[in-house]
Structure 1
Amino acid sequence: MAFGIKKQQISEWKRKIDNGEIAFLTHYWLDDRFPGSNTVTKVGCNDLAKLAVWGQKYGLRKEWIHNRKDGYSHFDLIGERQREILQKEGLFEHIWQKRNPST
């Protein structure tokens, strides 16, 4: 279940994807399969080859891309790997958001 995300954030994520950029979207999320994780970061791009190369830098396999018909294909980052990748990408506001549910 996803929550704690604004329409503007989703629109901006989609706009970047539509422009062929690597786009990040972090939101609150609960899934019984991942106890202890309460956020997910979706990393998307409409250029699947570009997205696969980006993921390869972090040990993510192209088979893990959620290939969506609507054009918003993405990797899901969860847990410690999520934090590690966000730090390496310099996306500290996404890490801060994980700790502050009021944002």
Structure 2
Amino acid sequence: MTPTDKTLKQEATIQINQALRLCRGQESYVAPPNETVTCGSYRMLDRFQCDQGVVALVLACNLSGGSVNDVDLYKLVRTYLWDECARAEINAVVKRHGL
């Protein structure tokens, strides 16, 4: 039987969280919310959950870090998820630059 997209996503999520637990250590790891977080409730994510998402990006892209020189992905992600006005401005910049 071929795995479905849903099954693959569930397995990938488990593996990503196992890797984050290993990387961050049991004391710093934050379990994801039980329910899917939709755009209307991104503000419910706390700083540690947002930062852990950046750690996953840093690992997946083999970046030197999430906060290096003029790059601060931690602040960017928190601002984007928590502040609707800032999100609209960021989206406008992205659209202007054709990305």
Report the TM-score range of the alignment, normalised by the length of the smaller protein.
under 0.3
Give the TM-score normalised by structure 2.
Answer: 0.25
Structure with the higher fraction of residues in strand conformation: 1
Structure with the higher fraction of residues in helix conformation: 2
Give the TM-score normalised by structure 1.
Answer: 0.24
Computing the radius of gyration from Cα coordinates, the structure with the larger value is 2
| Higher RCO by CA contacts (8 Å cutoff, separation 6 or greater) | 1
